[in-house]
Copies of this chain bind each other. A is one copy, B any other.
Amino acid sequence: MPDHDHDHVIAATFAPHDHRECAHRALDEAAARLAEQGARLTPVRRRTLEILLESHRAMGAYEVLDRLAAEGFGRQPPVAYRALEFLVTHGLAHRLQRLNAFAACLHPGHDHHPAFLICRSCDKVAEAAAAPIRDALTAVAAQGGFRVERATIEALGLCATCAAEGVA
């Protein structure tokens, strides 16, 4: 996916869209990527990803766990944490530090460390191209002799859809 599509991607997350298609495609891409890497998409892992993909919101580990338990998987925290950690490690989900929560990655393999835009009204989370932001950060840090290795960039604000609906 070329960089100039990113504005489209952000808008697509917040605007109404064919979510079935959207989730399905992400799942397919995920399966393909894992096959390449020789990693296994087991039932719990697959189901965890599907649950995250049901909405564009971030979910807490215990929210995911409740769902898994209700479907016959284990009901202890490690079940959810392990599946989530696996997904994050393989670039199929992201962890949102501000929220202590997890969200499915919508375009795995593209930019594994995007910036996150969290709408405070509808709670949806979009991924944005982090490269220009990370560049600015790296530059500022370099002036102080600091070498940036990993960056957490999360913005809280209002999405276009909620703004259009008159949310202040």
Contact = CB atoms under 8 A, between A and B. Distances in A.
Interface stretch (A7-15, A40-48, A76-84): A7-15
A141 B117 contact: yes
Interface in A111-134: 115, 117, 119-120, 126, 128-129, 132-133
A128 to B, nearest CB: 5
Interface residues of A, number: 44
**From DSSP, what is the main secondary structure of chain A's interface residues?**
mixed
B132 A144 contact: no
A69 interface: no
Contacts of A141: 10, 117, 128, 155, 157
A98 interface: yes
A147 interface: yes
A153 B150 contact: no
Interface of A: 6-11, 14, 97-98, 115, 117, 119-120, 126, 128-129, 132-133, 135-137, 139-141, 143-161, 163
